[in-house]
């Protein structure tokens, strides 16, 4: 009975996370469009924040759970970042070669790599204190403000391609209340879905497969909370919105590293097991991030199907490694 109940928790929690993330993204994009922000900036900030919300909720739920919460929080970050670039990025490139703008390759992708490297000195002592978590959040806020400032400056320098007709403006005004409702429902649902997902995944992983909390976070929880990125990027790729796809992947990884870790540590300072405190899984995340950037450089700002296949195979190999060495 307990197993059936926790399977229901896991599946139901993932469904709630997915659907509420969609609501949050829809509401946030609606609000962002009122400000006239570019699609790349929307992908890097609003959409990335929305699709990273499950990771935030799941990691906070993890640290509130107990002594092994730090492994759940950090494992979720590492696993989600690897899944975003190797699984989601690879799959999207297979569906349609992923085009990366020159500015993104020179600015946002290096920022993603630097942020990931910045995390190492914070976690290598197997502890994340509250002041360290607040430091990560401060860096996060600074990057967001810098991104918005650059977007506004570039928006002033560029002439708009299309003027928004009056009916569209009226539609945006009428949709503001709906956008706010979507954001509110999404946030509440994410909290509930995260608690269900963590409880179900940890019980099944420990009792049925004898996995450690860190491996559970790196696999089941990370994959589940990466579903919003997967859906968002696939839909964007099919519609040819490469800016949103790339911005979502890069932005989500930056958000995961800074916002998810920082928010979890601010709510409750936590300890981290040796495996995740700057160990193998951390460096695999760094290598995958570098491989994603290298694929864009080698393909002359296009991640093609061959590189997409390599990224997917890398993710599969990583999952096999996790299950084989799950201690």
Confidence grade of residue 37 (pLDDT, cut at 50, 70, 90): low
Say yes or no to pLDDT of 161 above 50.
no
Instruction: Give me the pLDDT at residue 39, please.
Output: 55
pLDDT tens digit string along 305-323? 899 999 999 999 999 988 8
Helix (H) or strand (E) holding 177: helix 166-207
Residue 113: closest CA among 296, 240, 274, 237: 296
CATH number, domain at 281?
A: 1.20.1420.30
User: Which of 54, 44, 58 has the alpha carbon at shortest distance from 19?
Assistant: 54
- Kindly state the greatest CA–CA separation across the chain: 62
DSSP for 85-115, written as a single string: IIIIHHHHHHHS-EE--HHIIIIIHHHHHHH
Is there a domain that residue 163 lies in? no
Quick one: pLDDT at residue 34?
A: 67
Beta strands in the chain (DSSP E): 98-99, 127-128, 270-271, 302-303
- Considering the domain boundaries, does residue 134 fall inside one? yes
Whether 162 maps to a domain, the answer reads no
Average pLDDT of the chain to the nearest whole number = 79
More confident residue, 67 or 1: 67
Note whether residue 72 is domain-resident.
Answer: yes
Task: Say if residue 165's pLDDT is above 50.
Answer: no
Residues in the chain: 327
- Give the predicted TM-score (pTM) of the model: 0.79
For residue 164, is it within any domain?
A: no
Read off the pLDDT of residues 174-223 as tens digits, 9 standing for 90 and up.
367 787 788 788 777 876 777 787 778 878 877 877 777 778 888 878 87
Number of domains in the chain: 1
**Dihedral sign computed on CA atoms, order 94, 217, 276, 256:** positive
Report the C-alpha gap between 54 and 259 in whole angstroms: 12
- Domain span holding position 133: 2-157+169-324
What confidence category does residue 98 fall into, taking pLDDT thresholds of 50, 70 and 90? Answer: confident
Chain segment 213-222, per-residue pLDDT in tens = 778 888 878 8
Looking at the domain assignment, is residue 105 inside a domain? yes
Q: Is residue 95 part of a domain?
A: yes
Q: Which residue has the higher pLDDT, 247 or 154?
A: 247
Alpha-carbon distance of 170 to 172, in angstroms, equals 5
Q: How far apart are the first and last CA of the chain?
A: 27
Distance (Å) of CA 72 to CA 215, 216, 231, 250, 251: 8, 8, 23, 22, 21
What percent of the chain clears pLDDT 90, i.e. is strictly above it?
21
Q: Specify the pLDDT at position 278.
A: 76
Cα 265 from Cα 252, distance rounded (Å): 18
């Amino acid at each position: 009975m307990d197993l059936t109940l926790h399977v229901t928790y896991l599946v139901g929690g993932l469904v709630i996370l997915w659907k509420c993330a969609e609501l949050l993204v829809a509401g946030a994009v609606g609000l962002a469009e009122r400000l006239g922000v570019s699609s790349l900036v929307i992908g890097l900030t609003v959409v990335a924040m929305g699709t990273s919300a499950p990771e935030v909720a799941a990691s906070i739920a993890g640290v509130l759970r107990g002594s092994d919460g730090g492994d759940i929080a950090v494992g979720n970050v590492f696993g989600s970042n690897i899944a975003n670039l190797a699984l989601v990025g690879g799959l999207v490139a297979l569906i349609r070669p992923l085009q990366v703008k020159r500015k993104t390759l020179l600015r946002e992708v290096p920022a993603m790599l630097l942020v990931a490297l910045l995390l190492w000195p914070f976690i290598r002592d197997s502890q994340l204190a509250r002041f360290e978590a607040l430091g990560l959040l401060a860096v996060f806020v600074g990057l967001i403000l810098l991104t918005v400032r650059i977007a506004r400056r570039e928006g002033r320098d560029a002439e708009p391609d299309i003027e928004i007709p009056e009916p569209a403006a009226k539609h945006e005004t009428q949709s503001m209340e709906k956008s706010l409702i979507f954001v509110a429902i999404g946030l509440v649902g994410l909290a509930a879905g995260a608690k269900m997902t963590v409880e179900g995944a940890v019980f099944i992983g420990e009792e049925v497969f004898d996995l450690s909390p860190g491996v559970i976070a790196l696999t089941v929880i990370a994959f589940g909370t990466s579903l919003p990125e997967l859906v968002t990027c696939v839909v964007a790729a099919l519609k040819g919105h490469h800016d949103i796809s790339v911005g979502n992947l890069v932005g989500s990884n930056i958000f995961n590293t800074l916002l998810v870790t920082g928010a979890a540590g601010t709510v409750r300072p936590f300890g981290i097991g040796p495996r995740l405190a700057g160990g193998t899984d951390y460096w695999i995340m760094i290598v995958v991030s570098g491989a994603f950037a290298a694929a864009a450089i080698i393909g002359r700002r296009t991640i093609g199907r061959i590189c997409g296949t390599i990224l997917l195979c890398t993710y599969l190999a990583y999952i096999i490694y996790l299950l084989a060495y799950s201690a």
